[in-house]
Amino acid sequence: MSRNLKLLPLLLLVISCQTEKDTDIESSQEYIRLNQIGYYPMSNKRFVLTATTESKEFSVVNAQSGNVVFEGQLSGATDWALSGEAVRVGDFSTVQTTGTYHIVVPGVGSSHPFSIGAKVLQAPFLGSIKGLYYQRIGQPLEEEYAGVYARPLGHPDLEVPFHPSVNREGTINAPGGWYDAGDFGKYVINGAYPLAQMATLLEHYSDLVADGDLNIPESGNGRSDLMDELKYEMDWLLTMQDEDGGLFHKMTSEVFEGMIMPHAAAKQRYIFAKGTAATLDFAGAAAKFARIVASVDAAYADQCLSAARRAWNWALENPNVPFTNPEGVITGQYGDNNFSQEFYWAAAELFISTRESAYLNHLTSIEVDFAFAPGGSWANHLHYLGLFALLDHRDQLSEALATKLRNQLLSSARQLVAKASGNAYFQPLSDFHWGSNSDVMNAAYIVAQAYRIDRQPAFLGFVQDCVNYIFGCNAVGFSFLTGFGDRTPQFIHHRQSAADGIAEPVPGLLSGGPNNYQQDKDEVDYPEVTYPMTSWVDQQPSYASNEICLNWNAPLTYVLGFLEMESK
């Protein structure tokens, strides 16, 4: 028995005296930044300490027995400019026994509790998918499936007129799908892209989500609940295709609704003009989903693939039709003026689904850069989906092309790993855009694919570290997924969460994260001094840092599912 183990009762008594008040406990926990959910037994396990203390040691304490199971040394202090902190790191990766633990630092206190064990991220993984169910449009959320978050049907979206800017008479029926973010809009670009990211899970790990895992209305139909939830969005996307194959960009009102419940929203919704980006994103997502659903619903697969072909043909005839909001419209634009990435992704998915060389010939004529760039994932990361699809089916490629693509992916992954290794919080960002948490997860998504083709421990460790960042090992000390962790966002920019009268926000939704551009700074009370990594506030008006969005949840869902399958 170590001398520190013998002194544990005295140590705990000192900590108890220091943290007698809840606010003191929270203060000590705030200074010890770690994954508040937990770690796989064989994974990297590190925490970041931001408190000033003379201690050079820390202990890992079993929360049930009170026994010290590990003693370690803190690193030297590093001044970290991105967060304005002096940080020290503790590594306890050798602790591998299943259990619940605390980190204890003398003179500071005790950390949030965390678990070590197999399937440790299963609950937040499934929660991140169930979060999409709470975003469903066009059907009531019944208590049987939604619990306290049950609500009446919002936005039936039947006989929706074209916006005057479209110069077209008539209406369309486009029910269903998911609310895109904290607002009530439905956007083809930001529906198709995240759908495809999550659908990749079904290609890679078809048995990961079983029928009944999510408790949704379709549970019990003999299909994966993940497939069912994704199909709910795919059904809506299909309604947004025009007879000529092009996709209408979005369905929204002209201005955002207030912070009200969906069924209370009364502003007129419109169908907006077609565009190249929406059409190609749909083509990529529909071609992918056709492959996934083929084994359980051949007719639906044929419908998706036929729609993808027609969308592709429209884009070939209309290769440069950007969408911009008409005058007076301020709902999401999801703008893009360069469609090379969209063409690359759509061509890749269509080639894999059809084996027709015309699609392959088109994508090989496109030069794309696979170096990771943060910000605007709906416009800047689409080509990665094409890359991943091609490498998943590299037996259909020439050896030269397969080798080229493999090398490009591994090069991008190594760059991300190298950047994270020099970051105090072990993630690859130094520039924090709107939705920076999705940038962290998209980087992890890329490196996860590298690990699937080259099982380097550094790649798996990077993905684990990125998840640790999301769940609390970050400069604000929050677990950013609502409902999961000890200290989570309570005031997300999300209309139902603001208006339903329930103290806790809708669970399973990922907050956008630090945003050093602070587009909402005139409306939000940021701290007087902020740094890039601390430009986040848990305030409902903060659309720039604390909103939720489909394309932020999607890479998190993939990465958590990947880790559940690949970590030990």
Please confirm, yes or no, whether 538 is among the known catalytic residues.
yes
Burial class (CB in 10 A: 0-12, 13-18, 19+), 300: middle
Q: CB 188: neighbour CB atoms within 10 A?
A: 28
Please confirm, yes or no, whether 520 is among the known catalytic residues.
no
Helix-then-strand count for the chain, H and E = 18, 15
Spot the catalytic one: 85, 157, 180, 183.
183
Spot the catalytic one: 229, 439, 547, 564.
547
Residue 184: alpha-carbon gap to chain centroid: 19
Q: Counting every residue, how long is the chain? A: 568
Q: CB 120: neighbour CB atoms within 10 A?
A: 22
Question: What does the buried/exposed string (b/e) look like for 122-134 if buried means 16 or more CB atoms within 10 Å of the residue's CB?
Answer: bebbbbbbbbbbb
Please confirm, yes or no, whether 155 is among the known catalytic residues.
no
Spot the catalytic one: 493, 494, 520, 566.
493
Q: What is the largest CA-CA distance in the chain?
A: 82
Please confirm, yes or no, whether 183 is among the known catalytic residues.
yes
Q: Nearest CA to 417 among 473, 478, 470, 372?
A: 372
- The 3-class secondary structure across 46-90, one letter per residue, is EEEECCCCCCCEEEEEECCCCCEEEEEECCCCEEECCCCEEEEEE
Q: Where are the beta strands (DSSP E) in 129-248?
A: 160-161, 171-172, 186-187
Q: What are phi and psi of 111, to 5 degrees?
A: -85, 175
Spot the catalytic one: 26, 213, 242, 538.
538
Q: What are phi and psi of 340, to 5 degrees?
A: -65, -40
Scan for tokens 């009170």, then name that residue: 66
Q: Where are the beta strands (DSSP E) in 175-241?
A: 186-187
Q: Nearest CA to 276 among 306, 228, 316?
A: 316
Q: Nearest CA to 178 among 147, 213, 205, 216?
A: 216
Residues linked to residue 86 through DSSP beta bridges, in sequence order: 79
Q: Nearest CA to 262 among 327, 165, 183?
A: 183
3-state secondary structure of 192: helix
Contact criterion met (CB below 8 Å) for 248 and 242: yes
End-to-end CA distance of the chain: 29
Question: What does the buried/exposed string (b/e) look like for 154-169 if buried means 16 or more CB atoms within 10 Å of the residue's CB?
Answer: bbebeebebbeebeee
Task: Report, as residue numbers or ranges, the catalytic residues.
Answer: 183, 493, 538, 547
